[in-house]
A and B are shown apart, each in its own frame.
Chain A
Amino acid sequence: MPLPASLILLIGLRLRATWRRVARSLRTPKGIAFAVGMSTMLVLWLSPAIVAIATGAKPPAIRIELMRQFGPLAILGMLMLSVINSPTERALAFLQAEVDFLFPAPFSRSQLLFYKLAQRVVPLLGVSVLLSIWMRTLGSSWIAVWCGVLLTLWFLHLATLCVALAGQRLQRVRFARTCRFVVLLILMAIVAGAWWVGRSIPEATPLEMLKAFAATPLGTMLALPGLAFARTIGAETLWPEALLWAAAALGINLALLTLAVRLDAPWLEAGAESSRKLAQRLEEFKKTGGMTTSVGRFAGMRLPMPPRWRGVGPLLWRQAITGIRRGARGLVFVGVMLVILSVPLLLGESEGVGWRNAFRPMGGIALFYMSLFLPQILRLDFRGDVDRMDVLKSLPASPRAISLAQVLVPTILVTVAQVPILFLANQSLQWNLALLPFWLPALFFANMLIAALDNAFFLTWPTRPATGVGMQFVSAQVLAQALKMMALGVLVGLAFAAGVLVLLMTPNLPWIQPLVTAGILATESALVLASVAKLFARFDPSMEQVADA
């Protein structure tokens, strides 16, 4: 038997443990409140889709067509992302407890592999149900969508696993480089192919170019691995279309499963190493509640020490240097945005119309998300210092100075990252904002307001996960985000409303509007920052809450 009874027992015990943990969290008023809040949000999110499924409402044909045309390439994209992003760590990561208990125990490698695969079944079932409800308009039958999503998720896992196992014979660094090289080649083939076939279409949008490419022999070949999965999701009939494509997809997955077992690669060492890294990241996540980023590439970067400025200077320096050393991924994002935004400029006035129309809203959305989420990712404020609150409180600096220093660095970094995108987007997407430079102070203070609000919420409710990412932690984060968005909406709305009012009163002096908006945002930031200082002064590290996960 591929899976010994003891490993089946372990899977069962861990499932039982999950239910026990949920039941325990529901015994406390806070746990009930979180569960109710989370369920409400889930119902609000999914209820339109559930109603549509229950009433048998037909999804728009264009959505199904979209799935059938672009689904295979999208699945290829997901597979490439999965492979490029440390395949060994994604596919072969075990819990540290599994490494300690199972690796020295009398199990064969294939038994451990089967255990790993079997363990994924329950989460895959849960995730596929949620995703299929959300994606149900991409196919005519919800059952087909669910089946397709489940098979796709399984395919992505198995294919990444096979790549990781195949790579075990190579050195880790060489393997990672090979993966990246292959993915880059495929990406270049897609971009070049789309460009080549799309150049004859007048005012083509990126989607139209991709559609034309998908019809070429190369496009068809690249889309082939994902075809059965996309067609299962986007099937027009349950029988025979969905069922036949699902059978083909299942066949692909079973072939991959056989390949994974046949490869019988010596993966235990790589698995143990991946698990150590995963545990390290989880530990870091438990400490900070945020994403961790590598500092390796920028470890050598230095910054001059600014003057003391009542204690703000050294604190600013510390956070700035951490920010710069962690900035690699942020730089990649900014670089990608700049490349995308350059395309309409390169295409010229008439040929770039399609791209401009497609990306016009994207520039604004990207800037908005940067303001909102980049500080959360970087955690160069109190959130990242949750384990150093004792040190911060013992420093010879006032709470105001410390709070200002904590909030300034994410504000500056986010604004600096946004400015080139903003100017390029204005030019490339023809936003025609003549007064753009006047809006920069408003952007800076809006970012400061967001960072200050983030910290105010964090100091009021310093929840972080106890063991991994649990239900209470996620619920708390979702609720805090919702409250923060409401506060932000009111404060930014007030500032912009005042700006518009001033513009109406002084139509001949349009530059006053951004300055008034910036002034109000600055005042609001100062007020929130004063609250942050008070909350920090009152913050008792011994009372910090750790959410039961």
Chain B
Amino acid sequence: MTTPILDVTDYTKLYDNVVAVQRLSFRVEAGQVVGLIGPNGAGKTTTMRAVAGIIPPTSGSLRIGGHDVTTDSISAKRLLSYIPDDPKLFDTLTVSEHLRFTAAVYEVANWKAKADELLERFELAPKRDALAQELSRGMRQKLAICCAYLHDPSLIMFDEPLTGLDPHGIRTLKQSIRDYAARGAAILISSHLLALVEDLTTHILILHRGSRIFFGSLAEARANFATGDSTLEEVFFLATANPPPPPPP
């Protein structure tokens, strides 16, 4: 049996006495694109931030490529890219300086060629010397994506990736996600745009009030909650119509 790229086991996160996520377990294999969906406050971002090593889990284990995020964080993080919902950039650095810095962090060899290719692909090449503060919301998002792709991560996590992107940007991003998955990366996408999730993902993970309601392929979700030709939107509403009671503190 191969090691999953992301292995979350019994992950629980408490804020004081409030349960944000309760005993969540799931695995993401290479090449899988998992859509993380759920109503506001379901624990999606908390889960992603814990996988990214930004917030520690209260209990449970989070492993990237077999490396524990808490105890072997550096090895785990080398395999990861995380693009938050509103990525913040260094306002006073230029586009190319962001890439230069990212290449230095992840020790990317021959990064310039890779960076140029990404800038071309995301239509940022004419802006390579522009300061981040001079970029529009969508361009900033594109730059964050370029930085995330630069080191060929094994696990890429997107939190609401389409915010601010123009139609061309959306198409490029979607294609790039498919490309990286085809090359063996595991992708985790959190979004309220269910059409996007349905279009891109191989699996879905539905969270509600910090608990897992469902994890599996879309076909399995349809079989569980709806009929064979139902949309993800219909599945989502049926799945969250009778949610489990809020977990006890």
Contacts and interface: CB of A to CB of B under 8 A. Distances in A.
A105 B52 CA distance: 8
A478 B89 CA distance: 30
Nearest to B148: A104
Interface in B152-194: none
Contacts of B81: 104
Contact of B106 (A5, A14, A105): A105
B84 interface: yes
A99 B88 contact: yes
A99 B55 CA distance: 11
A491 B74 CA distance: 65
B195 interface: no
Interface string B5-33: 00000000000100000000000000000
Contacts of B100: 9, 13
Interface string A86-108: 00000000011101111111111
Contacts of B78: 106
Given A101-B147, A266-B56, A106 B93 contact: no
Contact of A106 (B16, B56, B77, B92): B77
Interface string B129-151: 00101000000000010010000
A467 B74 contact: no
A102 B82 CA distance: 11
Contact of B75 (A10, A20, A21, A106): A106
A1 to B, nearest CB: 14
A21 B56 CA distance: 37
Nearest to B80: A104
Given A106-B78, A268-B53, A466-B133, A100 B88 contact: yes
Contacts of B80: 104
Contacts of A99: 54, 88
A404 to B, nearest CB: 38
Residue with the greatest number of chain B CB neighbours at <10 A, chosen from A21, A97, A103, A266: A97
B150 to A, nearest CB: 12
A6 B102 CA distance: 8
A5 B81 CA distance: 20
Contacts of A432: none
Given A10-B101, A105-B77, A269-B55, A100 B106 contact: no
A95 B133 CA distance: 14
Nearest to A24: B131
Interface residues of B, number: 34
A467 B92 contact: yes
B101 A13 contact: yes
A154 to B, nearest CB: 25
B90 A17 contact: yes
A97 B53 contact: no
Given A99-B54, A266-B56, A466-B133, A104 B77 contact: yes
A394 interface: no
Nearest to B49: A272
A272 B89 CA distance: 15
Contacts of B89: 97, 100
Given A100-B144, A105-B77, A6 B105 contact: yes
A266 B106 CA distance: 23
Contact of B104 (A9, A21, A95, A97): A9
Contacts of B102: 101
Interface string A162-200: 000000000100000000000000000000000000000
A20 B88 contact: no
Nearest to B101: A10
Contacts of A96: 88
Interface in A12-34: 13-14, 17-18, 20-21
* Interface residues of A, dominant DSSP: helix
Nearest to A548: B133
Nearest to B77: A106
A28 to B, nearest CB: 15
Given A13-B97, A14-B93, A466-B133, A103 B88 contact: no
A103 B104 contact: no
Interface in A257-313: 266, 268-269, 272, 279
Given A106-B105, A269-B54, A13 B77 contact: no
B234 interface: no
A204 B88 CA distance: 56
Interface in B85-124: 87-93, 97, 100-102, 104-106
Nearest to B16: A171
B90 to A, nearest CB: 5
A95 B53 contact: no
A496 to B, nearest CB: 48
B202 interface: no
A21 B92 contact: yes
Nearest to A272: B54
B240 interface: no
B101 A467 contact: no
Contacts of A5: 104
B88 A97 contact: yes
A268 B88 contact: no
Contacts of A272: 49, 54-55
A456 to B, nearest CB: 31
Given A13-B97, A104-B77, A279 B56 contact: no
B73 interface: yes
A95 B88 contact: yes
Residue with the greatest number of chain B CB neighbours at <10 A, chosen from A4, A5, A13: A13
A503 B160 CA distance: 72
A18 B75 contact: no
A95 B144 CA distance: 16
Contacts of B88: 95-97, 99-100, 279
Given A101-B102, A269-B54, A272-B55, A108 B90 contact: no
B133 A467 contact: yes
Contact of B90 (A20, A97, A269): A97
Given A100-B144, A105-B105, A106-B74, A14 B54 contact: no
Contacts of A107: 74, 77, 105
A349 B27 CA distance: 79
A104 B52 CA distance: 5
Interface of A: 4-6, 9-10, 13-14, 17-18, 20-21, 95-97, 99-108, 171, 266, 268-269, 272, 279, 466-467
Closest 3 A-B residue pairs measured CB to CB? A6-B104, A17-B92, A96-B88
8 contacts: A6-B104, A10-B90, A18-B92, A21-B92, A97-B91, A106-B105, A268-B53, A467-B92
Interface of B: 16, 49, 52-56, 73-75, 77-78, 80-82, 84, 87-93, 97, 100-102, 104-106, 131, 133, 144, 147
Given A97-B89, A104-B81, A107-B77, 12 more contacts: A6-B101, A6-B104, A9-B101, A13-B97, A17-B92, A20-B92, A95-B88, A100-B82, A100-B87, A104-B52, A105-B105, A106-B73
